[in-house]
Amino acid sequence: MKELPHIPWGKLAAHLVWIAGAALVLAAFGYHEWLARREGLRLGDVLKRHSFRKALAAGGVLAAVGASAAAASPLTAAIAAAAAFSLAAWLWKLMGTARHQ
């Protein structure tokens, strides 16, 4: 009986994370586009809302963390990790301002 090839579970998980982040960003954009049409507002005005910014930041964090973990070179991993850190700081700030509104 032939053995199955080894599945790189770590890389699989890393790709799952960045794909989930990209899906979150796309879902947030699609929802807010629908919301703009439903409320008769300009898309730009709806995209300035706090709800979109939080979803964008959260999706960006997931995408950057996954890209950093899946990166083939240390330089690419470092750049993606720096982006993840910046987006996480932005998300933290957004979450703090949400409590004070």
pTM of the prediction?
0.86
Q: What is the number of structural domains in the chain?
A: 1
| Domain assignment of residue 65, yes or no | yes
59-89 per-position pLDDT tens digit = 999 999 999 999 999 999 999 999 999 999 9
Mean pLDDT of the chain: 93
* pLDDT at residue 49 in the model: 95
| Domain assignment of residue 2, yes or no | no
Q: 6 falls in which pLDDT band (50, 70, 90)?
A: confident
Residue with tokens 């898309």: 43
| Domain assignment of residue 54, yes or no | yes
| Domain containing residue 22 | 17-30+37-99
| Domain assignment of residue 88, yes or no | yes
DSSP per position, the chain: -PPPPPP-HHHHHHHHHHHHHHHHHHHHHHHHHHHHHHHT--HHHHHTSHHHHHHHHHHHHHHHHHHHHH-SSHHHHHHHHHHHHHHHHHHHHHHHHHHT-
| Domain assignment of residue 90, yes or no | yes
